[in-house]
Structure 1
Amino acid sequence: MIAPPARPDSLVRQDRFTTDESTADVAVVIVTYRNADSISTLVDSLRSEAAVSSIRVVVVDNNSGDGTASTLAAHDDVIVVAGEVNLGYAGAINVARSRIGATRAVLILNPDCVVQPGCVTALRAALREPGVVAAVPRLHDVDGRLSFSLRREPRLPATLVDAMLGARLPRRPVWASETIRDVAVYDRAHSIEWATGAAMMMSAGALDAVGPWDERFFLYSEETDYFRRLRSHGLVLYVPEARVEHTGGGSGSSQALSDLLTVNKIRYVQKYHARSFVTAFHAVTLFGEAVRCWSSKHRATYRAVARRHEWSNLLRAETPRPTECRDMGSVVIPAHNESRVIARTLDALADLAARGVVEVIVACNGCTDDTARIAAGRPGVRVLDLDVASKTAAMNGADEVAELWPRVYLDADVVITPAAVVDLVTALADGTLLAARPASRYDATGAGHLVRRYYRARSSLPLVRSHLWGAGCYALSEEGHARVGRFPDVVADDVVVDAAFATDEKIVVDTDPVVVLVPRTPAALIAVLSRNYSGNRDAPATTSSTGTLRHVAGTVHGPGTLLDAAVYCLFAALGRRASRRTSARWARDDTSRT
């Protein structure tokens, strides 16, 4: 028998993906989470496209635990990054960015997609048009029905109408919905504001120019944010000739995801809009959930949206941003006789300090206890022993020896996680923002009933959640510190720092909250409030008494919150009265230092 002639290798391998170091026409990025039943279908659909374009496929699996990684092992030409934790969608894409290699374009696909023949070619052709930096395909479901995937930026009229009508009356005017539901619009190519992130292609140049995805969103609204940043570099084009089947619901469905979807829309608005717009958008969103209160799902989402102080507890990455880097910034801890608490604060920072991710400086000031000895025993911690018992003098002293920026200033009795430290310095690293603080929560364990009511009301105040003060921790970039200069000899240093920056120059980072231990007794609380009010006399006013009362009144939603507000006002009045009776500028709360 005569053997058939050997087929050229180019034909044998024409549907394979490239895994070498050559420049690919397209790098495909896929983020999976429990997609064992759908990922092979997507990969197989890309193979016909690989016969026309050189394609490199990178899959980041977010610790699925359902066999997704094993399923991908059958595709030996797919680059698989198996994560040990769930980094979220944006975090996983950022991991993939480091693995895509040299490429001319990047196509991001949801794992529940199926690419139709010619799709990649049509999207690549769109990127060659003048001024176009990104392109999106036409999406349809498994039955071929058009998916309304095109969106408009959040606008109050559209948000209000959507809140009242939901998906009803799809033929409403274009201004009356964020989602574009006019079928005729989907039949022609045109530039868009944004689209659902199930499938999107961008040029490699745009990918580099826009930078990493914003991991603070974890899931939902991260594509809205990325499209907005893409549009600052050029046009985003909708291409009806490029078609993708999208099943939808690939992220799963749960109450937590529904809450996160709604909350992240507000977080996105907070990132780009003025406070007045954010306040109105928040109110409209609450209204939208309230009108559907017959549904337990919407009642739960209403509670999630209303409790802004609990937003940081919603789904987020299970691990801090990559901390294999060194010299990311500094942590300065002023400490005066803090031997009872300094160990727990430093233990939380031990790994970062020992590996040189950040430099940690404990500035002991006027200490007569073992604070310096305890701190010096921690690897990677530098200790300054200063004679003057002054917090701001200690911070200034630490600034003179610290070498890295950004710089985190942390009270010795406040515990911050490694994730929060990394998120803080990362938020300030690109110079867009000058000051930041982490989210915070009060730990009232062991506190009396009245004290708990006071802090319950305080936690609900918008002022507490939008300023740099009150958390025992804030961070400054080098430019931000230059604006503040040397820290003045005041008690309320955080109030002084907060007043130095406009709203759009500072941020409360949505990360692991720092834990603020509260006074345990009414007497201790009054003493702390007396100190705060005395210290605030040396600092710029953040709001008037009338303004504060108005904010407190806004927290009242029923008998329980009314009582909380009344207790808050009572303690505030007692604290102000005590501050007028004493000249003491400092009073330590020892009830929480146990």
Structure 2
Amino acid sequence: MEHTNTITLGGVSVDLMERDAAIEKIAARSKDTSSAPLGVVSINLDHIHHFGPAGRWRRSLDTDRGRAIEWLDLIDGAPLAAQAQRVTGRAWPRLAGSDLAGPILDNAARDGVSVGFLGGDTSTHDTLRVKFAAERPDLVVSGFWAPSRDELSDPVRAGDIAAEIAAAGTDILVVGLGKPRQELWIAEHAAESGARVLLAFGAVVDFLAERIERSPDWVAAAGLEWAWRLSREPRRLANRYLVAGPPAYATVRRASGADVAPRRELPAARDIRRPITSGRFVDETSDADVAVVVVTYNSADDLPGLLASLRREAATVTMRVIVADNGSTDGTRELIAAETDVIAASTGGNVGYARGINAAMTHAVGANTVLILNPDLSVEAGAIEAMLRRLDRSGAGIVVPSIVDDAGEVYPSLRREPTISRTIGDSLLGSRASGRPEWASEIDFDAESYRHPHEVEWATGAALLIDSEVAAAVGEWDGRFFLYSEETDFFRRARDAGYSIWYEPAATVRHSQGGSGSSVALDSLLAVNKVRYARKHRSAGYATGIHIGAILGEVMRSYDPAHRQILRTLLDQRSWRSLPRAVEGSPLDSTGDTIGAVIIPAHNEATVIARTLSPLADLAANGRLEVWVVCNGCSDATAEIARGFDGVNVLEIDEASKTAALNAGDAAASAWPRLYLDGDIAIEPSAVAAVFARLAGSPVLAARPAYRYLVDSRSPIVTSYYRARQRMPSMSAAMWGAGAYALSKTGHERFGMFPAVTGDDLFVDQTFTAAEKRVVPCAPVVVRTPKTASALVAVLARQSRGSEESTLPATSRGTIRELIATVHGPRSFVDAALYATLTVFARRLARRSTAVVWERDDSTR
């Protein structure tokens, strides 16, 4: 129904009516069985605070196809009445629920209309029963309901209460739950309650029972009723009147006018397809209500539980399930392959969460919606249908569910757009002071937010349902984030495109948390990606503020070594390149042709050789890799341990020489390309595949995997040295330093046999031009750096001797220039100076040594 006298006050539509006209309208609708329920709301500053443009519950009262209800919005507060007069040029009366209740009940008694009361406590209800019996004997009271807050927040119980009200034959329901709960309950349950009129009149039950004293007439006439009530209940009302009130008043003055606030036009509702075969997923040739997208990485322990919960949901919703695996090595891929109705999407390696979603989305064509789920959760019964209903009822572009942990506690998954003030608030307080203002926290900690459906800015990306048209309009997820902040970015782009995001508490998923794993590197990536997100969507100055706020948070927690490492990462932007990122190379299937050989020279490596061989063992046993361990001059159990791995070939030579071992391995091996791997370096099969693939059919003759240094629990001198080393670009391009490099057959033919040099990797690096060698972006090998300064000097002395043996021109001047270029502050200066000092000292030590010795780092063995 359109109202002839409607204006906008504070961004909210308000119906301008005289007192008698409002009472007559309510009386007429209480007897009207053909119209939609009428919800009557008192509009005051508290209402603007909750339901205005900046309110948490904005648009929650919009009429939609699932809730056929008409709203009658009446001026209550004095500031609203004054603003209405400014807009229209005439005075309008305040129509507070406490003033209207008496006449409404009189008319109900006259017309034989039944009245029910929802809200208040049982003692107040007992008082009302006595008063009505004495003062309103003709009033038909259908019942009193005093549910707890937990009952009202439980969708099932809230629906049961509405059904009880309907069964009692209630015509007028006085809903006194307080704002915003009363309006939200009416919006959700008006039709179920059977009531023809629902009055959101707050404390009117207490007024009727005379438990709250009315303000004197002169106080109300002066517009000071708020001050009267504040003086009577300061603790309960201080926040409403003194904190929330002033901004709401500013909104009223700023966002008011004669134009009516527009209502949204919702698209036509979609019918849910009922599955033909219960518990089965459909293939790509069939239409589906939902395409479920799951990105996995070593998720074998979690995925079965998720799939089982989805099969239960597939009994009522037609769904297609797509799993994009990011290079798992724990049996996840085999588990997916065993599910004949699950679609496996290829990602090409551990490419991250966003790119994994993009790979899966190519198989989602023809589905109405896309449901993105973490593998470490399970979907509670009815959750998917509840999200689909909310998507249709609200016209939202995205719907997010309630997330509970293993103990059944609601996880605070709702988020606000990152700002400088919120970043600083979270940095200073973390999860403490959870009741702080919205501008001081990105996380919504308020339990009330998790009890009712409403529009939100974004939520954690563990579970979200996206309309397929929205997914197409927003486009691919930004793979540059790899992990963390990719959902923040997607939600923001959806909002910028004009789509809304809604939270649906009736849909629940159980999340074990931590499915992405936890480490200092991942925590550092989380902090850095927040800065990257700000740089993408904000000005440079604003992003700097976010960066400073993040640094502040780590400074506050720098007593913890992990947070000190995160702080160092935030301060040193060059270190961001070493954070987890997309890597190419899919895991090798256990069956198929041999793809190449791995040669491992080993001298007394009994403590580490099993660690090196374990990732390659299955592939060696199945003939996918030809693996040779060449024990050179060993006096320990290296050979015995290596022979314990099926498919691993072991050679033993007497000479304790690495290059002799390499040549012996070459003489025995038959497959190409060949990876030369130090005995203390473990490499992922996907990295082997990526390196070999890079050498196949290309001008590249030498390649190595990416690597990262392990410097945890190292001497400060060691840590400083490797910080400087990581800042030097040449170190990231050279073949040496990773403990692993590979050669094609053509590349190996360039020199035939390895010469007797100390630095075989340096020799390889200097044998090929820059165009002939590549560092492959794949799962990095971990280089365990020396733990002590003395061990580091010994290793550097060996490397220096290898450099002296090189027949190519020295590059000291270039190294010095490169080192100087890494200095950008006091810390990097100290690191560079220490690097130079240790390098010079190691060179002198190597030149003074006359004995032939292999300086090995035993601190990591």
Shorter-chain TM-score tier:
0.5 to 0.7
- Post-superposition Cα deviations, 1:176-208, rounded to whole Å, max 9, x if no partner, equal xxxxxxxxxxxxxxxxxxxxx969xxxxxxxxx
- CA change 1:588–1:93 in 2 (3 A) is same
Q: Does 1:94 align with 2:94?
A: no
Q: Answer yes or no: is the 8 Å Cα contact 1:289–1:298 preserved in 2.
A: no
**Matched AA of 2:811:** S
Instruction: Describe the shift of the 1:392–1:77 C-alpha distance in structure 2 as closer, same or farther (beyond 3 A).
Output: farther
Q: CA deviation at 1:382?
A: 0.3
- The structure-2 alpha-carbon separation of the partners of 1:76 and 1:332, relative to structure 1 and needing over 3 Å to count, comes to farther
Inter-CA distance 323–370: structure 2 relative to 1 (3 Å threshold): same
Task: Tell me the secondary structure at the aligned position of residue 814 of structure 2.
Answer: helix
1:500-519 pair list within 5 angstroms? 500-519=767-786
Contact 1:334–1:410 under 8 Å retained in 2: yes
| Residue pair 1:309, 1:441 contacting (<8 A) in 2 also | no
2:690 aligned residue: 423
Return closer, same or farther for 1:554/1:110 CA change in 2, 3 Å cut-off: farther
In the aligned structure 2, how far is the partner of 1:432 from the partner of 1:262? 39
Superposed counterparts of 1:515-554, under 5 Å: 515-541=782-808, 544-554=811-821
- Deviation sequence 1:430-450 (CA, Å, 0-9, x none): 435322212222233454322
Q: State the AA in 2 paired with 1:323.
A: D
Q: Which residue of 1 aligns with 2:844?
A: 577
Deviation at 1:502, TM superposition (A): 2.7
Find the aligned partners of 1:583 and 1:328 in 2 and give their Cα distance: 43
Do structure 1's residue 452 and structure 2's residue 703 form an aligned pair? Answer: no
1:314 aligned partner, one-letter code? P
**Aligned twin of 1:331:** 598
Q: Which residue is 1:321 aligned to?
A: 587
Supply the distance in 2 between the matched residues of 1:198 and 1:257 (Cα, whole angstroms): 27
Q: Secondary structure at the match of 1:394?
A: helix
Partners in 2 of 1:76 and 1:143 — Cα distance? 19
Do the aligned partners of residues 248 and 331 (structure 1) sit closer, same or farther apart at CA in structure 2, a change above 3 Å counting? farther
Q: TM-score, length-normalised on structure 1?
A: 0.55
1:495 paired to 2:747 = no
1:141-540 pair list within 5 angstroms: 292-296=543-547, 307=573, 311=577, 313-316=579-582, 320-326=586-592, 327-431=594-698, 433-540=700-807
- Higher RCO, 1 vs 2 (CA within 8 Å, ≥6 residues apart): 1
Q: Which moved more, 1:377-386 or 1:66-75?
A: 66-75
Measure how far apart 1:317 and its partner are.
Answer: 7.2
1:62 has 2:62 as partner: no
In structure 2, C-alpha distance between the alignment counterparts of 1:352 and 1:333, rounded to whole Å: 15
Deviation at residue 375 of structure 1 after TM alignment: 1.4
Give the partner amino acid of 1:464.
Answer: M
SS of alignment partner, residue 351 of structure 1 = helix
**1:291 Cα deviation from its structure 2 partner:** 8.1
Unaligned segments of structure 2, at least 5 residues:
1-268, 274-284, 297-302, 329-342, 349-358, 369-394, 398-470, 474-478, 485-496, 502-522, 552-565
C-alpha separation in 1, matches of 2:499 and 2:654: 67
Q: CA RMSD in A?
A: 5.2
- Seen in structure 2, the aligned counterparts of structure 1 residues 481 and 310 have a Cα distance that, compared at 3 Å, is farther
Amino acid at match of 2:823: V
| Change over 3 Å in CA distance of 1:502–1:358 after alignment to 2 | same
TM-superposed deviation, 1:574: 0.3
8 Å contact 2:700–2:774 — kept in the other structure?
yes
Deviation of 1:321 after TM superposition, in Å, equals: 2.6
Aligned-pair distance for 1:318?
A: 11
Letter in 2 for 1:557: H
Q: Which residue number corresponds to residue 856 of structure 2?
A: 589
Report the Cα distance in structure 2 between the residues aligned to 1:476 and 1:305, rounded to whole angstroms: 38
Q: Work out whether residues 718 and 787 of structure 2, in 8 Å CA contact, stay in contact via their aligned partners in 1.
A: yes
| Residues 85 and 572 (structure 1), Cα distance of their counterparts in 2 relative to 1, 3 Å cut | closer
SS in 1 for 2:587: coil
TM-score (structure 2 length as normaliser):
0.39
Any conservation in 1 of the 2:585–2:687 contact (CA below 8 Å)? Answer: no
CA distance in 1, matches of 2:599, 2:500: 47
Residue 494 of structure 1, CA deviation: 0.8
Unaligned segments of structure 1, at least 5 residues: 1-39, 45-53, 97-105, 116-141, 145-196, 200-214, 221-244, 264-283
Separation (CA, whole Å) in 2 of partners of 1:217 and 1:359:
37
1:260 Cα deviation from its structure 2 partner: 7.4
Structure 1 distance, partners of 2:346, 2:500, is 23
Q: Aligned equivalents of 1:86 and 1:78: distance in 2?
A: 25
When residues 549 and 110 of structure 1 are mapped into structure 2, their CA distance, relative to the original with a 3 A threshold, is farther
The alpha carbon displacement at 1:59 in A equals: 8.0
For the Cα contact (< 8 Å) 2:677–2:739, is it kept in 1? yes
Letter of the aligned partner of 2:295 in structure 1?
Answer: N
CA apart distance, 1:384? 0.8
Residues 256 and 315 in structure 1, CA contact (< 8 A), matched pair in contact too: no
Alpha-carbon spacing, 1:347–1:308, altered in 2? closer, same or farther (3 Å): farther
Q: 1:556 to 1:374 in 2, by over 3 A?
A: same
Deviations 1:250-296 (A, max 9, x none): xxxx9959967999xxxxxxxxxxxxxxxxxxxx99xx968841233
> 1:351 and 1:584 mapped to 2: Cα distance?
42
| Cα offset, 1:518, TM superposition | 2.5
For the residues of structure 2 that align with 1:310 and 1:332, how far apart are their CA atoms?
33
Deviation at 1:356, TM superposition (A): 2.8
367-376 vs 489-498, which deviates more? 367-376
| Counterpart AA for 2:856 | D
Whether the aligned pair in 2 keeps the contact of 1:114 and 1:246 (CA below 8 Å) is no
Note the C-alpha offset of 1:62. Answer: 2.3
Over 3 Å counting, the alpha-carbon distance change for 1:315 and 1:112 in structure 2 is: farther
Equivalent position amino acid for 1:589 in 2? R
Counterpart CA distance in 2 for 1:293 and 1:339 is 50
3-state SS of 1:537 partner: helix
SS at match of 1:516: strand
Aligned partners of 2:527 and 2:550 also within 8 Å: no
SS of the residue 2:605 aligns to: coil
Q: Whose Rg is larger?
A: 2
Residues 486 and 59 of structure 1: CA distance in aligned 2, closer, same or farther (over 3 Å): farther
| Cα displacement (A) at 1:588 | 2.6
Structure-2 change in CA distance of 1:336 and 1:83 (3 Å) = same
Mapped to 2, the partners of 1:584 and 1:247 lie a distance apart of: 74
Q: Is the 8 A contact 1:360 1:380 kept in 2?
A: yes
Aligned to 2:833: 566
Structure 2 residue identity aligned to 1:295: I
The DSSP-based 3-state class of the residue aligned with 1:556 is coil
In structure 2, relative to structure 1, the CA distance for the partners of 1:443 and 1:368 (3 Å cut) is same
Contact 2:702 2:747 in 1 (8 A): yes
CA deviation profile, 1:505-558 (whole Å, cap 9, x unmatched): 322222232222223333332222122111112225586222212222222232
